[in-house]
A and B are shown apart, each in its own frame.
Chain A
Amino acid sequence: MDFELNDDQRAILEAVETLLEQRAGAARAVALASKGDYDAELEAALANAGFTDMALSEETGLLEAALVVEAVARAGGLAAIGAAALVAPHCAGRALPGPIALASAGERGPVRFGAHARTLLVAAADEARAVRVQPGDAETVASNFGYPMGRVRTDGGESLGAGSGARLRSAWRLALAAEATGTMRSALHITVEYLKQRRQFGHPIGSFQAVQHRLAECAVLVEGSRWLTYEAAWRGATAEASATAAAYALAAAHRVFSETHQLSGSIGFTREHDLHVFSMRLQALRLELDGVGGHQRALTRSRWTTA
């Protein structure tokens, strides 16, 4: 047993963090989101540097891909890297033209990155389908949750074979857990740093025990999400492990959202403070694949139902 990242994994993480420092961040996310834009440059830079191929390469796999997806979320990157680095490789066994949006068959609601996607990966009952889409095929939907959204048509496309539907859903859950983890880490980090500095009643707010307990509980939840995500990636995104990670992380996301906003007070409600860049996204992530309830049902199905 060994829960430490190895040298290669640490090097990958450092390299992607260096790239993200230059090409992502809260300020860039705010600027892009205000126009409903997608960060195509970031996606291209990550792809060119090989960060979206981790799951397809001989030397690396889903765990390295999950580390990349988490890092992009932590940096507020506005690109569909979960779909590119985790979902497409695991489901289709190859890279697909990005941006890639994910949808369930028959989905009528808006999906993340729907209006910018070139490929739509559709989860039907047994199979997944890859639908090539052109700009303008989807209807752009305005949203306040930090991601560009679009309403897509989920019919047609190329079948990825029997069993690909289940692989798509599992990898999608793994990607959601990784994204939620990275996003929560940043929301919590911003809050902790602010509370170390803001003083009330003669002391930094973060020195009050009642506040410390709430922040520490969030830290426990974020760490739990992180390790369940890594474990699910290490296990190859099995249905059960992915559903477990997603059920935990997306439930934690609500708690982290509420606590970081409440403890930040008024400044957290203003747009000048970066918390919202991360916190609002958590709510969008919470709705995919039927939310926490959907992940819980997937978990019980995979563990106790014999097909």
Chain B
Amino acid sequence: MNARFGDAEEAFRDEVRRFLEAHRDLDGFFVQDSRWDAVKAFFRALGERGWLSLAWPEAVGGLGRSPIHEYILWDECAYARAARPPLGAGVVAKTLIRYGSAAQKARWLPGIRSGELHFSLGYSEPEAGSDLASVRTRAERHGDTYRVSGEKCWTSYARHSDYLWCLCRTGEPGSRGRGLSILIVDLHAPGVKVGLLPTLDGEALHEVLLDDVSVPVEQRVGPENGAWTLMAEALADERHVQFPPARLRRDLDDVVAWARRHGLERDPRVRRTLADLAVGVREAEVLGLRVLETLVKGRSGVVEAAANKVFQTLLCQKIARAALDFGAPESLVAGNPVEFLWRQSMWETIGGGTSEIMLGVVAKQELRLAGRS
């Protein structure tokens, strides 16, 4: 066992930290939607260094580094509260690299790599969240185009993005996971309407209404009706950056700073809670490294990633709640860091796959408990 990164990787961490010094005021991690312009400029700065394509193969313009570099980059960005990894450079690019045609790679990858082109994930619908196999958004093929109609909801950053990575039904109704395809839908195409869904953290999610939107067949990624495998692989690609543990370390540091500021640090109950949470953060870091290892060694890691997400997001809520449970009404004042964390952290056990779905993965794949048929 060796719980340390190598010298080259640690040198990269130092480089990232120096880079982030210049972006200390960005603070876009939690408010990426309302500070999109600043966040986008940050992505461009990352793009200039090739850091949006760190682990892409060199043949498609990447730096060919290991996923450890990606992990370090986004872990440091999380601690600095700078930004979250953009979908385009992760799920979209990696799927295009694996399944895309030469024309698709040439068309999309350069803009993604430079931080210029941005994608939103169009999976959830009013009737399909955890159960993605029931997606209804319909894509009817007419010659060289699909006509797409349906409704996506709870989509992040849609009003700022250029394209929707859109899960559509191309098979018969009732074809479940066997009848789904991924289409890249231009969010500025006729028939697309993006609406705001304000959320409890003061940000917003979006609904995307698709009314007979015309999408050229060459914007389908992978085979028709072949989205299911492709989505699973894309999710696996991103498991090491989905929830960087340094976010938790920073959350705890912020709570400790707040407790100090309000004279609570000597209270033995507060100290015991903080110690519990510090143990939790260390555990999250170790679990995060284990997930990273599965990726580096080319193992599946589905169970590890699921268990990790449950643990990390629950801990994230515990950290945020602790500050409110210290009992100081001061914590209710709008805009203070701990009440914001508390509201924001509610989302983490839901977004990106709910805890219940993750627990189902652990139950079925690790414990081998039978499903109901």
Contact = CB atoms under 8 A, between A and B. Distances in A.
Interface of A: 107-111, 141-145, 149, 198-202, 210, 254, 258, 261-262, 265-272, 276, 280, 283-284, 286-288, 290-291, 293-294
Interface in B311-333: 317, 321, 324-325, 327-333
B205 A144 contact: no
Given A266-B129, A287-B328, 17 more contacts: A107-B329, A141-B333, A142-B334, A142-B335, A143-B333, A144-B200, A144-B334, A198-B127, A201-B134, A261-B346, A262-B350, A262-B355, A265-B350, A269-B201, A276-B200, A290-B327, A291-B325
B172 interface: no
Top 10 closest A-B pairs, CB basis? Answer: A109-B329, A200-B131, A142-B334, A266-B154, A291-B327, A109-B330, A271-B198, A201-B131, A270-B197, A143-B332
B61 interface: no
B30 interface: no
A145 B134 CA distance: 36
B342 interface: yes
Nearest to A263: B356
A137 B329 CA distance: 19
Chain B interface size band reads: 35 or more
B32 interface: no
B36 to A, nearest CB: 19
Contacts of B324: 283, 286-287
A149 B331 CA distance: 12
Interface string B95-132: 00000000000000000000000000000100111110
A293 B197 contact: no
Contacts of A283: 324, 332, 342
Contacts of B57: none
B349 interface: yes
A201 B131 CA distance: 6
Contacts of A145: 332, 339
Name the residue in A110, A268, A270 with the highest tally of chain B Cβ atoms < 10 Å from its Cβ.
Answer: A270
A265 B354 contact: yes
Nearest to A210: B356
B199 A149 contact: no
Contacts of A272: 197-198
Contacts of A210: 356
A269 B204 CA distance: 10
Nearest to A258: B317
Nearest to B202: A144
A110 B333 contact: yes
Name the residue in A143, A202, A286 with the highest tally of chain B Cβ atoms < 10 Å from its Cβ.
Answer: A143
B200 A280 contact: yes
16 contacts: A142-B333, A142-B335, A198-B127, A200-B134, A202-B134, A262-B350, A266-B129, A266-B153, A267-B154, A268-B350, A269-B201, A270-B200, A271-B198, A272-B198, A288-B329, A290-B327
Contacts of A269: 199-201, 205, 346-347, 350
B364 interface: no
B269 interface: yes
Interface in B284-340: 317, 321, 324-325, 327-335, 339
Nearest to B360: A210
A114 B293 CA distance: 54
Contacts of A108: 330
Nearest to A109: B329
Nearest to B343: A144
B191 interface: no
B351 interface: yes
A211 B321 CA distance: 23
Given A270-B198, A286-B324, A143 B347 contact: no
B327 A266 contact: no
Contacts of B331: 287
Interface in B269-288: 269
A238 to B, nearest CB: 24
A259 to B, nearest CB: 11
Given A271-B199, A283-B342, A266 B328 contact: no
Contacts of B134: 200-202
Contact of A287 (B205, B332, B356): B332
Name the residue in A107, A145, A271, A290 with the highest tally of chain B Cβ atoms < 10 Å from its Cβ.
Answer: A145
Contacts of A261: 346, 350
A292 to B, nearest CB: 8
Interface string B192-211: 00000111111001000000
Interface string B80-93: 00000000000000
B302 to A, nearest CB: 19
A287 B269 contact: no
A200 to B, nearest CB: 4
Contacts of B332: 109-110, 141, 143, 145, 149, 283-284, 287
Contacts of A111: 329
A244 B36 CA distance: 49
B269 A266 contact: no
Contact of A109 (B154, B198, B328, B346): B328
B354 A144 contact: no
Interface string B334-373: 1100010011001101110011100000000000000000
B57 to A, nearest CB: 35
Nearest to A111: B329
A265 to B, nearest CB: 6
A261 to B, nearest CB: 6
Interface in B199-231: 199-202, 205
Contacts of B354: 262, 265
Contacts of B127: 198-199
A107 B124 CA distance: 46
A271 to B, nearest CB: 5
B131 A266 contact: no
B350 A110 contact: no
